[in-house]
Structure 1
Amino acid sequence: MNSNYTLLTIISELPNNISKPHNHFYNVCVDLPPNVVSDGIWASHTTGAFPSISSFTILELQIITIFTVTQSFHFFLKRTGLPYLVSQVMAGFLLGPSIPTGPFDKYKQMLFPYGSPDILNAISSLGYAFFLFLNAVQADFTLTTKTGKKAWAIGLTSVLTPIVIGYLVIESKTLFPFWESLIGNDEARSLFAVVISHSGCSFTVVAQFLTELGILNSEIGRLALSSSFVINLTSGIVVGIGTAIFKSYEIDTLMIIMNVIYYIAFITLVPLAGRPLLRWVERQTPEDGCVNKIYTYSIIVALLLLGFLAGQFHQPFLSGALIFGLVVPEGPPLGAELIDQLDLFATWFLTPIFITCCSMKLNLTLLPSTPTLVAVILFFIIMVHLVKWILCVSICRFCNIPFTDSFCLALILSCKGVVDICSYMTVYDTLSQSEEAISVMIISVLMVGTISTFGVKTLYDPSRKYAGYQKRNIINLKPNSELRVVACMHKPSHMIPIKNVLQLCSPSLGNELVVDLLHLMELVGRASPIFIAHHHQQKKGGESSHHNYSGEVIVTFNLFEREYAGSASVNTYTAISPFTLMYEDVCHLALDKFASLIILPFHIRWTEDGGIESNDNNIRSLNTMVLERAPCSVGILVSHGAHRNSSNYNVAMIFLGGHDDREALCFAKRTFKDPKNNLVVYRLLARDRDITDWEHMIDDEALREVRGTYVKIENVTYEEKTAEDASHTTSFLKDIADKYDFIIVGRRHCINSSQIDGLENWTEFSELGVIGDLLASPDMRTTASILVVQQQHSTTKS
């Protein structure tokens, strides 16, 4: 007897399916009323000391065992790059009959006695329903209108063409008798379900897959999300209608028609009625406030009721959760609040248990006895994926997408995961397919998921397009050409410092400034990232007007543009994505807009009295990744909290030598084009410098104009200082730190600079370089803003 066969499933199936060949008959004895809570270890041997006597105690032991085994597998498998899902499935195989454990089998029987998985399955399946609901909440239902023709073409052909080809191969009068002779009538009839299940893909699985690989908001990631949403939506509707037909097939034609009508009405009326009601709930929530608990509880109750209602016309409970999840507005406040309340309980606690319980039901030891069935199912799985790959690559090549990226997209849209495994087990519980067939499909999920993971990791590098084959820096700009800047901000406190540094660029005729301002926000309560170009956005009523992203930022920098009309232009964007992937938005915008400089706010902001106003390590990680991958030069802006309203600045440029210092000098040269700004260039020279050194001669040439022509201008000063060692450099910086409004420095300097020798070991923030780190130190007691410049990484072609 298989201890993982659920008692409730068998009892419910017997009355209507007695004649079916895969039914099992058991004599079952049940103690009523059941003993729920243990009497403790001090009770008598008959009532207390045995865990299997009390259902709650055995449930606790089962949960502890599942998590222990799962984490043990994951401890080893994660080092090979395999996802957590593989560990959960392997734990189920070990705890179930699939992996014989010899003398330990009796302990498995004791831990999972016959009928006990019913309780574990009931609890964990409810958690899985909430998991699907939360993932549907995070999906952006408006992708159906935003998705471009490319994604629709890839999505529809990828799901419909394999289904059509599979149907022709299975159901044709010539071939069906052949499949029937190989595997029998029942298994041949179920082959079409194999084709349908592998033709589609889950939006949830694709979103998690892209997040794990760190390419969620890359170009291929965005296309994959849109295409998978189309596939998921199309296959979901097809499966829903198919379920309505299949469940009523043995009753009568009228019932089939009625169930299909009920299903179509359900998926139409729930969004039409629910979306406006939930928008009203959002309007009742104060800005930056929490959603009223009454609304949250009402949504959970509505979820359960809709699941029950779906069952009345032969749809699974999960379909109600999915449809209602798509109705809930994604993102804050409502979507984010539901995820915050339910995510830990559903996603990280109950769903892993449910996956393990599903794989415990299977017995892989049966597969060697049915090699023909295994071979036929594998043939159809491989056929479906090959058709999908060929179609996806062909359409992408027609759209001028490189072959490597096209193949990676095909792999992404073929990946399988949590949702697929649970769907297969739902089919298995209804006895629609044999245990052997489901076992092969579960194994195929693990294989396809692993191939997709390693394939995309190997073939796709999103940062390669940022390689610096083309000069995009300030030093290579032609005289009097416009400066294109991507300025980033996260918080309202960043607005004034960013505005100040843009004013420092001295926009004027002949010194034009083009700014692409990027407001970066963390992705909360949704699966797909958002990128909004506000200058292309049209004002619409209803739903779109509710999302007023970056309103204050737009107003502030529109005023800046008007102040410098004709010499400065500002385009504002909002990017909503995970912090770990924000660098993609920044670098892609800089690449797309041919920017010469990216300006990033430093992760620490000090008050004027030296105290820390804010400290965000997520921003620091973002800055580090942008410095490593940027397609142009990068400037990190350190603000000490001094708010200025005037546009005239005293600016110091500290020059030691090297690529970054020369880039910083070119930026500093733009500041004195406004007569109200005063620029002082300090060159720190080592006493033992080698004037014949090539780098030293390049530095001399870069400073030639500053020492000669520019010195005649009233607002430009050039001074040379000799610093024998690091202590002299530190003393000099302390002397000038509080004399200026802005200090501009390069991030990296000559390797053998005696002026900073030894200071590298004391650097706290490597992204600022040695001089920038010293100036940003609270010990400097300065209110000056510091701009640390790194020149574009250059890549030479072999």
Structure 2
Amino acid sequence: MNMNANETLFEAFTFLNASNHDETYQVCIKTPPNIVSDGLWGGQQSGRTPMRSALPIFELQIIVIFAITHICHFFFNRLGLTLFFSQIMAGLILGPSFEIEPLNLNRYREMLFPFGSQGVLAGVTSMGYAFFTFITSVQMDFSMITRTGNRVWSIALIGLVAPVMAGLSCLSLFSEPLKNALGPHFGDLKVAVLSHSITSFPVVACLLNDLKIINSELGRLALTTALVSDIIGLTVVSLGSAMEQRIDGKLDFLGLTLFFAFVILIPLVSRPVMFWIIKRTPQGRPVKDHYIFAIIGMVLALGWISLMLHQQFVLGPFIFGLSVPEGPPLGSALVKKLQLFGMWFLLPIFVTTCAIKVDFSLDYTLTVVLTIVAFIILTHFVKALAYLLLSLCCKMPLRDGLTIALIMNCKGVVEIFLYHNVYDEKVLSGQAYGVLMASVPILASITQMSVKYLYDPARKYTGYQKRNIMSLRSGSELRMVACIHKASHISPITDFLDLCCPTEDSPITVDALHLIELVGRSLPVFVPHRLQKPVSGSLKSYSDKVILAFDLYERETVGASINTYTVISSHNLMHEDVCILALDKLASMIILPFHRRWSVDGMIESDDKNIRSTNLKLLERAPCSVGILVGRAPHPKDSLLRVAMVFLGGDDDREALCLAKRAARDPRVNLVVYHLVGDDDSGTSNLENILDRSVLKDVKQDYSGLSNVTYREISSNDGTQTSSFIREIVNGHDFFIVGRRHEINTPQTFGLAQWSEFPELGSIGDLLASSDYGGRASVFVVQQQVSNTKITWKF
């Protein structure tokens, strides 16, 4: 190493020896060390210049790492590659492998990473991996281990054992020729086989989150299998590390006893403490900060104790995280506190730091590289084949089985840490470290692209049979899925169910789905409360109001059957849970609450953008008709209800009219159908006009004898006349039913779409819901089932 002490963080250093590309130095450190500098000028006299002080160097390294990472991601993102791939590439660029002779990049590397700074960078950022491990274990539902069936255990166990046995058998069978060909690199093959045989739960969870399929049926199966496989693998590795410790060639029974005591005492002591903290936290209030900081301190302390027991420092944080009850209030608070600093700041730097150590300029031989690559391919082939055959034995479609096999072969940050750890312990050679580190982003990218191509959860809705109210026979059961995000949504939905006029001859079945944001846990949760025996107390308490309200409604209403469910999922994936339930229950309509709520005086009380995002996605891909309910003031149950239906024509309006005619069966409902007609009918085809006249015929003739049904034909030739008419009738009714009419342009609505605030309500629905019109009536906007149509939203 050609440098002087002024180019390092040390006072002096002396070269001792070198062996196997490892150099040993004796260094002299000034105490206290230079943490902060005295500036560019003041440091010249004191010796505390920015480039010889730990903190300025650390800050500069972080800035450069993040800059290069995001520059790489700017280009690789267009190829569909993840940020993880860019983090690895940034490490390779900053490492000794990347060299452009005219630029003399090594000179700048030595300035950016002076001798002695790498340990500070790796030591600080490795806490990011400790926090990542802790957060991941906090989000795990460890009780899932006891609830999974024998089939999942079998799949996980065979998927883990098969590649290990295949790889080790080949190593044993061809040990002599491999030793002769590889020499000291023969031991690297065992690391390659074992590391590529394991399946990491955090890596699988991150992949499924990136692909947005974590709450699909396949995603849930993959997560459960990965959880079981990860627990088995971690148990075997930790137990093996404890039993490898020897004293005078004999097993260290004291160390083994301390290991078991460590593993057992953490949950026994910490779990009751966690529940004590939750008990002392008032309902709806956040956990106090001093509890959070005490837990973070315990994470670091347990990592240090793990090292004292000759284990990986993440073992203690992992077991400690499993002791934390997942979800609110404690689990979600810890995730929110640590996610930004640990996972989004320190962890990416740690990944890049691990990649910086890769040196492709070493004496790589083709034999070593090809042999390691061959064993990696063999391990993954056997592992994928095992999962594929097991999936097919479970009668899973070939495409889904192949997807599961690919997901379980994914690699990521856990493997990066593993290779970094064994390389620092000199178990792995520099050449093998480079090959194995390069294999991780390559396998991660191949897996993501392949799964994205093979599996689309929306394909099950393609070509789905008609599920709407118009397709129902007279007197048949009406099946609906009602979505509830907040307690305030219950009353408007029960009022709407009354409007559907449930009777013994024409019953309704409602699947009420309580949607809760996924915070502080990795596994999405779906609980059918009528079928599920006892559920966890915290989960049941979330949905108590929903369960009690709909149970009471079912008992009081003849002809209504209601099943309640709870779904805990991330907001960007909630629509998948709703679609799956609607598909399974053969629902004809999904009822969605509007994202905005007004107070009695017309002021905006709440505005939830996440609810709106879910509604927009359901309008795009729902397997049945969809209705958005804008709930206003509740209506007395036994009083007269003034209902209006504004009809212009089209599929959505015809669907809405069918619902209005169903409501008219109730004598307490006074229905008025406003048919807006214009002088020019060029906006609709002749077929559409025929269909419109057909559904209106019932209202004009069959319903004309009913005292509670009125048909009125209103002349309107442009959007201005329509707007004026809506303003006239908005306060004359308690409830409006309208069609969304998302693909129809007629003279009656000309110009209204340009002023529409919420396109999901359609032109008429947006006018009725607008606070500018001063209306207090509830509005139900209907969209008939969309088949093979993609809606583009513009804001």
Distance 2:565 2:25 in 1: 65
Which residue identity lines up with residue 781 of structure 2 in the other structure? V
SS at match of 2:519: coil
Bigger Cα displacement from structure 2, 350-359 vs 35-44: 35-44
Give the alignment's Cα RMSD to 1 decimal: 2.3
Q: Deviations over 1:132-191 (max 9, x none)?
A: 111111111111023234432322211111112222111x3x42112111111x422332
Q: Indicate whether 1:35 and 2:34 are aligned.
A: yes
CA deviations over 1:582-637 (Å, ceiling 9, x no partner): 00011011001100000001111122322111111111111110000100000001
Aligned residue in 2 for 1:519? 514
Aligned to 1:719: 712
The 2-side partners of 1:643 and 1:206 are apart by: 49
The 3 A distance-change label for structure 1 pair 643 and 109 is farther
- 1:632-647 equivalence runs, <5 A: 632-642=624-634, 644-646=636-638
What letter is aligned with 1:673? R
2:208 maps to a residue whose letter is L
User: How far 1:488 moved relative to its partner?
Assistant: 0.4
Q: 572-581 vs 682-691, which deviates more? A: 682-691
The aligned residue for residue 729 of structure 1 is 722
Q: Does the alignment pair 1:229 with 2:227? A: yes
How far is the alpha carbon of 1:535 from its aligned partner? 0.8
The corresponding residue for 1:11 is: none
**467, 473, 483: which one aligns with 1:478:** 473
- Give deviations 1:396-427, integer Å, cap 9, x for gaps: 12222211111111111111111211121011
Distance 1:350 1:647 in 2: 62
C-alpha separation between the residues in 2 aligned to 1:405 and 1:539? 32
> 1: distance between equivalents of 2:458 and 2:89?
34
Residue type at the aligned position of 2:88: V
In structure 2, how many angstroms separate the alpha carbons of the residues matched to 1:562 and 1:749? 38
Cα deviation, residue 92, structure 1: 1.1
- 1:227-376 residue pairs with structure 2 within 5 A? 227-246=225-244, 248=245, 251-255=248-252, 258-366=254-362, 369-376=364-371
State the aligned residue count: 777
Equivalent of residue 589 in structure 1, options 569, 581, 586:
581
TM-aligned CA deviation for residue 27 of structure 1? 4.9
- Does structure 2 conserve the Cα–Cα contact (< 8 Å) formed by 1:658 and 1:749? no
The CA distance in 1 between the partners of 2:734 and 2:539, in whole Å, is: 40
Structure 1 pair 329–251 and aligned structure 2 pair: CA distance change class (3 A): farther
Are 1:406 and 2:398 matched, yes or no?
no
Structure-to-structure mapping, 1:652-731, within 5 angstroms? 652-689=644-681, 693-731=686-724
| Structure 1 position 261, deviation (Å) | 4.7
Gaps of 5+ in 2: 10-14, 790-795
Which residue pairs with 1:199 in the alignment? 197
The range that moved more, 485-494 or 60-69, is 60-69
User: 8 Å contact 1:40–1:48 — kept in the other structure?
Assistant: no
Q: Pairwise mapping of residues 108-257 of structure 1 onto structure 2 (< 5 A)?
A: 108-170=109-171, 172=172, 174-184=173-183, 186-246=184-244, 248=245, 251-255=248-252
* Paired residues of 1:240 and 1:263 also in contact (CA < 8 A): no
> What are the within-5 Å matches in structure 2 for residues 434-513 of structure 1?
434-513=429-508
Within 2, Cα distance between the matches of 1:118 and 1:583? 46
What's the TM-score once normalised by structure 2's chain length?
0.94
Structure 1's 437 and 44: CA in aligned 2 closer, same or farther, altered over 3 A? Answer: closer
Mapped contact 1:531–1:573 kept (Cα < 8 A): yes
Q: Equivalent residue for 2:591?
A: 599
Match of 1:615 among 607, 610, 613: 607
Amino acid at match of 2:194: I
Corresponding residue of 2:53: 54
Q: CA deviation at 1:519?
A: 0.8
Separation in structure 2 between the aligned mates of residue 370 and residue 481 of structure 1, nearest angstrom? 75
Kept in 2: contact 1:607–1:642 (CA 8 A)? no
The DSSP-based 3-state class of the residue aligned with 2:401 is helix
1:49: how far off?
A: 8.2
Q: Deviations over 1:261-280 (max 9, x none)?
A: 54344333322332233122
Q: Which amino acid aligns with 2:64?
A: T
**Which residue of 2 is the match for residue 104 of structure 1?**
105
**Deviation per residue, 1:363-414 (Å, 9 max, x gap):** 02226x2221111111111111111111111121222221111111111111
**TM-score, with normalisation over the residues of structure 1?**
0.93
One-letter code of the match for 1:352?
P
Q: Distance in 1 between matches of 2:743 and 2:499?
A: 27
Structure 1 pair 772–163 and aligned structure 2 pair: CA distance change class (3 A): same
- Counterpart CA distance in 1 for 2:493 and 2:445 is 45
Q: Structure 1: which amino acid aligns with 2:677?
A: L
* SS class of match (2:671): strand
CA shift in 2, pair 1:352/1:258, >3 Å: same
Of residues 393, 404, 416, the one that matches 1:421 is 416
Matched, 1:792 2:789: no
Shift of the 573–668 alpha-carbon distance from structure 1 to 2, 3 Å rule, reads same
Structure 2 CA distance for aligned equivalents of residues 492 and 118 of structure 1 = 53
Contact in 2 for aligned 1:605/1:641 (Cα 8 Å)? no
Rounded to whole Å, the distance in 2 between the matches of 1:385 and 1:481 is 53
Given residue 269 of structure 1, which amino acid in structure 2 is its aligned partner?
Answer: L
Deviation at 1:743, TM superposition (A): 0.3
Matched AA of 1:60: E
Amino acid at match of 2:97: S
Is residue 562 from structure 1 mapped to residue 524 from structure 2 by the alignment? no
Return 35-44 or 659-668, whichever deviates more. Answer: 35-44
1:88 deviates by: 1.2
Pair 647,446 (structure 1): closer, same or farther in 2 beyond 3 Å: farther
- CA distance in structure 1 between the aligned counterparts of 2:313 and 2:343, rounded to whole angstroms: 18
Q: For residue 542 of structure 2, what is the aligned residue in structure 1?
A: 549
SS where residue 140 of structure 1 aligns? coil
Q: Is the 8 A contact 2:57 2:112 kept in 1?
A: yes
Say yes or no: does 1:755 pair with 2:748: yes
The answer to which of 736-745 and 305-314 deviates more is 305-314
1:379 to 357, 374, 379: 374
Uncovered stretches (5+) of structure 1, i.e. residues with no partner: 9-13
Structure 2 Cα separation of the partners of residues 294 and 2 of structure 1: 49
The residue that corresponds to 1:79 in the other structure is 78
- Match of 2:342, as an amino acid? A
- Which amino acid in 2 is paired with 1:590? A
Q: Distance in 1 between matches of 2:132 and 2:417?
A: 12
Q: Give the drift of 1:51.
A: 2.5
Q: Aligned partners of 2:42 and 2:743: how far apart in 1?
A: 78
**CA deviations over 1:6-58 (Å, ceiling 9, x no partner):** x99xxxxx99xx99856433354545553322111232635468432222222
Question: Aligned letter for 1:558?
Answer: D
- 1:571 aligned residue (563, 582, 591): 563
Say if 1:2 and 1:142 are closer, same or farther in 2 by CA, change over 3 A: farther
Q: Which amino acid aligns with 2:125?
A: S
Equivalent position SS for 2:514: strand
Q: Is the contact between residue 468 and residue 793 of structure 1 (CA under 8 Å) also seen in structure 2?
A: no
CA distance in 2, matches of 1:33, 1:267: 37
- Tell me the amino acid that sits aligned with residue 208 of structure 1: C
Which position in structure 1 is the counterpart of 2:774? Answer: 781
Deviations 1:477-502 (A, max 9, x none): 11101100100011111111111111
Letter of the 1:734 counterpart: R
Q: Deviations over 1:41-84 (max 9, x none)?
A: 23263546843222222222112221221122122222222111
- Distance in 2 between the 1:261 and 1:765 partners? 65
* 580-589 or 23-32, which deviates more: 23-32
* Contact 1:132/1:322, CA 8 A, preserved across alignment: yes
